[in-house]
């Protein structure tokens, strides 16, 4: 089904269309070129035919007029010869000559002799009526009598032969008197002229007319027109239009045209020499068009034949192009069918015989193999990635720490389970919200998470959870940078410190109770002395109650002892009291003294020398005094434990640069082994049999809580020095 879709949408349609396209393009091209040629040649052809017609018209009219005029002049020559050989005195001879001529020249339809009075004397053939008539009205009689020269008459129907003919009249002139003695006439029948014209029709298919100067048609292609038809034409010639009469007066010969039924008629004319007549030759353009139409239909059938030939040829050409492509498509289809199964086994598929196609097929197969390998690799990669993702998701989900990821747009992208547990905010409520919104919800300062800040932020903070409860957290905010050191995201790790804080608190209390236990025996011992003194003083007072001086002295001594006791108890209680941590501006001097007095009995017991070096102008520091005293007590306690009898403990307090206060507590005890120095602040780390390893852990926590720092320097067997540093106010 899948294949069908691809095939229907693509390849097959492509092949199909190519099959149509190639022949279509070839046919269109052929058609265009044929039609273009046809158009051009049609134009040339019609022009040429037109010219041919005009030329032929001219030739026909020239030759016909020449032939007619030659014919008439020959005829005239014959009649003149006859006239020269006639002697009017010898009538018999005249008759004989006339008979001879009539028989000898078959084209003469009548020969006669006419007297100067216009009477026919003898005629061959004869007709009785002619002898009674006089022919004074005949144009040839009048011309010959007047001009005394030969004359070729107009056409008229002769009274002897009753046929239209031209009369050639020649005078017989007396050489002495120069008088006309008679006229010899010879009739040339119109038939003869017609015969000449008919001869022209053998090579010409237009119309030929012979007209006289009155435009009367003597010979016409239409039969029996004589005496009925005057030819009327309005001929365009040399840019003018004139009728045939004007034409005959203006030109000897020429060519023009006139309109007839919306088509052009080409006309040529030629005056006949020695005769008042004209040959008109004309041809209608319609006949050309008819001719062209014949050619056109022939052309169309040729075109049809050519086009079908081209169609067959181009289809086979298209086939020869398309078939290999089809083969290629089939081949590629087979390969593609196997691409996710076993493309390597497609070697068996037969390759095409055509070398180019074979090459294409091979390269396609190679490509498919490459593709297959890529697909396999990609699938593997995808699987690995999926697993990795799952793994990461699991880590994120099960991570004890809250993981919050802020994306490139400053929006929350990941808010894992632990983060939800710590903050009480649901993932779906915060994901895609801005980091500022998150900070606001948590009650953290704005701008803590910023895409502009490339440095990590690390520290303990207090956030408000959704129930508005304060939660101590450890936050690490680190930007994720790309290769160009641009921030792509920010990862925030959130660790809930509630339990740790509780633990710390517990440890602090435990440490304190422990110290209290240790201190109490010393205190009891300490109380012993003042109490014994007081008992003695009271004894003395009992004895001397009367003596005022003694009494006052004793009471004052008693007061001193009570003060000592009081101070001791207050200090002790102070230390044991679980006060709330509260930072105030405090004087380090007092805190150190308070700590020393708590440990006083132990110091005394071991005969330890305390060397105090406290600078008078140290700035106050903002700390929790109770916690701070615990710090000093714990450090001093370790020192007391570290030194032997007569040990020395240096307590040095002084300002440092930047208005800081530095407290150094140094003892000349056993020192700390090098390999242990990193561990001493760890909880439960102790090297002592009776130790619990909480002292320095508590110290460290309190110092950090109060914004200070603590470091240790020591050399085994020589000394140990703790250096505390706090920012002064």
Residue 72 engages ligand ADP in binding (rule: CB under 6 A) = no
Residue 571 engages Mg ion in binding (rule: CB under 5 A) = no
Cβ closest to ligand ADP, residue 283 vs residue 666: 666
Residue 638 engages ligand ADP in binding (rule: CB under 6 A) = yes
Binding mask 689-708 toward Mg ion (x if CB under 5 A, else -) reads: ------x-------------
672 interface partner picked from Mg ion, ligand ADP, none, CB below 5 to 8 A per type: ligand ADP
When binding is defined by CB under 6 A, the residue of 153, 639, 668, 725 that contacts ligand ADP is 639
Q: What are phi and psi of 568, to 5 degrees?
A: -60, -50
**Nearest distance, CB of residue 672 and Mg ion, angstroms:** 12
Residue 504 engages ligand ADP in binding (rule: CB under 6 A) = no
**Nearest distance, CB of residue 542 and ligand ADP, angstroms:** 48
332 interface partner picked from ligand ADP, Mg ion, none, CB below 5 to 8 A per type: none
DSSP-assigned beta bridge partners for residue 656: 660
User: Could you identify the residue written with the tokens 């052009």?
Assistant: 264
**Nearest distance, CB of residue 692 and ligand ADP, angstroms:** 5
Rounded Cα–Cα distance for residues 83 and 97 (Å):
9
Cβ atoms of 492 and 449 within 8 Å: the answer is yes
Cβ closest to ligand ADP, residue 231 vs residue 642: 642
Cβ closest to Mg ion, residue 315 vs residue 677: 677
Residue 667 engages ligand ADP in binding (rule: CB under 6 A) = yes
Find the part of the chain contacting ligand ADP (CB under 6 A) among 51-59, 109-117, 485-493, 668-676. Answer: 668-676
Torsion of CA 202, 206, 211, 217, to 10 degrees: 100
Q: If you write DSSP's letter for every residue of 688-712 in order, what string do you get?
A: SSS--S-HHHHHHHHHHHTT-EEEE
Rounded Cα–Cα distance for residues 685 and 691 (Å):
9
**Nearest distance, CB of residue 720 and ligand ADP, angstroms:** 4
Q: Which of 659, 655, 656, 649 shows the shortest CA–CA distance to 722?
A: 649
Q: Residue of minimal CB distance from Mg ion?
A: 695
Residue 638 engages Mg ion in binding (rule: CB under 5 A) = yes
Cβ closest to Mg ion, residue 215 vs residue 638: 638
Cβ closest to Mg ion, residue 630 vs residue 638: 638
Residues 670-689 that bind ligand ADP (CB under 6 A): 670-672, 680, 685-688
Rounded Cα–Cα distance for residues 453 and 148 (Å):
141
The count of residues interacting with ligand ADP (CB under 6 A) is 22
**Nearest distance, CB of residue 673 and ligand ADP, angstroms:** 8
Q: CA 240 → CA 237, 247, 259, 273, 284, distances in Å?
A: 5, 10, 14, 25, 20
Q: If you write DSSP's letter for every residue of 236-273 in order, what string do you get?
A: EETTEEEEHHHHHHH-SEEEEEEEETTEEEEEEEEEPT
**Nearest distance, CB of residue 710 and ligand ADP, angstroms:** 12
Q: Which of 397, 468, 458 shows the shortest CA–CA distance to 427?
A: 397
When binding is defined by CB under 6 A, the residue of 415, 695, 701, 703 that contacts ligand ADP is 695
Q: What is the DSSP letter of 230?
A: B
Residues 6+ apart with CB under 8 A from 727: 621, 622, 658, 659, 660, 661, 707, 708
Burial 35-51, CB ≥16 within 10 A → b, else e: eeebeeeeeeebeebbe
Cβ closest to ligand ADP, residue 227 vs residue 612: 612
Residue 610 engages ligand ADP in binding (rule: CB under 6 A) = no
Rounded Cα–Cα distance for residues 92 and 21 (Å):
99
Q: Residue 191 has which token pair?
A: 């038939």
When binding is defined by CB under 6 A, the residue of 311, 693, 713, 727 that contacts ligand ADP is 693
**Nearest distance, CB of residue 424 and ligand ADP, angstroms:** 36
Cβ closest to ligand ADP, residue 271 vs residue 700: 700
Torsion of CA 578, 583, 587, 592, to 10 degrees: 40
User: Could you identify the residue written with the tokens 């002769």?
Assistant: 158
When binding is defined by CB under 6 A, the residue of 692, 713, 723, 728 that contacts ligand ADP is 692
The count of residues interacting with Mg ion (CB under 5 A) is 2
Cβ closest to ligand ADP, residue 188 vs residue 595: 595
When binding is defined by CB under 6 A, the residue of 270, 669, 701, 702 that contacts ligand ADP is 669
Q: Interface with Mg ion by CB under 5 A: which residues?
A: 638, 695
- Judged by the rule CB under 6 A, the positions of this chain that interact with ligand ADP are 634, 638-639, 642, 667, 669-672, 680, 685-688, 691-697, 720
């Amino acid at each position: 089904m899948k294949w069908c879709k691809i095939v229907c949408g693509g390849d097959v349609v492509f092949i199909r269309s190519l099959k149509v396209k190639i022949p279509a393009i070839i046919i269109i091209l052929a058609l265009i070129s044929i039609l273009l040629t046809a158009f051009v040649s049609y134009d040339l052809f019609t022009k040429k035919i037109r010219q041919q017609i005009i030329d032929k018209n001219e030739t026909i009219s020239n030759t016909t007029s020449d032939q007619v005029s030659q014919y008439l002049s020959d005829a005239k020559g014959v009649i003149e010869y006859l006239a020269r050989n006639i002697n009017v005195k010898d009538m018999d001879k005249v008759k004989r000559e006339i008979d001879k001529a009539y028989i000898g020249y078959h084209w003469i339809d009548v020969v006669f002799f006419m007297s100067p009075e216009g009477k026919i004397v003898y005629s061959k053939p004869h007709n009785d009526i002619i002898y009674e008539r006089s022919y004074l009205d005949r144009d040839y009689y009048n011309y010959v009598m007047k001009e005394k020269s030969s004359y070729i008459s107009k056409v008229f129907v002769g009274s002897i032969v009753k046929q239209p003919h031209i009369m050639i009249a020649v005078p017989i002139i007396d050489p002495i008197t120069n008088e006309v003695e008679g006229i010899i006439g010879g009739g040339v029948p119109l038939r003869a002229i017609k015969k000449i014209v008919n001869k022209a029709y053998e090579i010409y298919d237009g119309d030929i007319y012979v007209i006289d100067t009155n435009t009367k048609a003597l010979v016409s292609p239409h039969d029996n027109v004589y005496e009925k038809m005057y030819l009327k034409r309005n001929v365009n010639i040399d840019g003018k239009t004139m009728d045939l009469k004007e034409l005959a007066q203006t030109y000897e010969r020429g060519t023009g045209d006139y309109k007839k039924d919306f088509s052009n008629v080409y006309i040529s004319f030629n005056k006949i020499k020695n005769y008042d007549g004209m040959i008109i030759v004309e041809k209608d353009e319609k006949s050309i068009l008819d001719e062209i139409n014949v050619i056109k239909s022939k052309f169309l059938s040729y075109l049809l034949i050519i086009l079908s030939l081209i169609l067959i040829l181009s289809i086979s050409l298209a086939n020869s192009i398309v078939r290999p492509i089809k083969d290629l498509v089939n081949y590629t289809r087979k390969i593609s069918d196997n691409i996710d199964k076993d493309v390597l086994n497609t070697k068996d598929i037969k390759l095409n015989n055509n070398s180019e196609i074979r090459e294409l097929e091979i390269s396609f197969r190679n490509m498919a193999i490459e593709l297959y390998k890529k697909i396999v690799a990609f699938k593997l990669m995808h699987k690995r990635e999926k697993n990795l993702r799952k793994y990461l998701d699991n880590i994120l989900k099960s991570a004890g720490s809250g993981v919050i990821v802020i994306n490139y747009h400053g929006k929350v992208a990941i808010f894992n389970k632990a983060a939800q547990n710590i903050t009480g905010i649901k993932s779906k409520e915060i994901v895609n919200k801005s980091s500022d919104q998150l900070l606001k919800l948590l009650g953290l300062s704005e701008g803590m998470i910023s895409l502009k800040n490339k440095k990590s932020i690390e520290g303990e903070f207090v956030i408000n959870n959704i129930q508005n409860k304060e939660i101590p957290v450890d936050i690490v905010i680190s930007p994720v940078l790309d290769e160009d050191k641009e921030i792509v995201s920010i990862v925030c790790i959130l660790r809930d410190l509630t339990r740790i804080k509780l633990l710390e608190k517990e440890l602090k209390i435990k440490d304190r109770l422990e110290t209290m236990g240790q201190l109490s025996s010393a205190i009891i011992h300490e109380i012993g002395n003042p109490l014994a003194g007081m008992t003695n003083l009271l004894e003395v007072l009992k004895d001397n109650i009367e003596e005022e001086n003694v009494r006052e002295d004793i009471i004052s001594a008693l007061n001193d002892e009570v003060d000592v006791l009081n101070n001791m108890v207050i200090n002790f209680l102070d230390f044991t009291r679980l006060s709330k941590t509260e930072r105030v501006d405090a004087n380090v001097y007092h805190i150190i003294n308070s700590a020393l007095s708590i440990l006083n009995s132990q110091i005394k017991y071991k005969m330890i020398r305390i060397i105090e070096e406290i600078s008078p102008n140290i700035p106050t520091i903002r700390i929790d005094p109770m916690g701070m005293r615990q710090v000093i007590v714990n450090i001093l306690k370790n020192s007391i434990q570290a030194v032997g009898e007569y040990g020395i403990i240096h307590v040095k307090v002084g300002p440092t640069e930047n208005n800081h206060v530095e407290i150094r507590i140094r003892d000349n005890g056993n020192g700390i082994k090098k390999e242990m120095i990193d561990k001493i602040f760890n909880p439960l780390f102790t090297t002592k049999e009776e130790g619990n390893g909480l002292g320095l852990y508590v110290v460290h926590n309190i110092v950090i809580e109060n914004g200070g720092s603590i470091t240790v320097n020591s050399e085994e067997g020589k000394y140990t020095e703790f250096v505390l540093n706090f920012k002064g106010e």
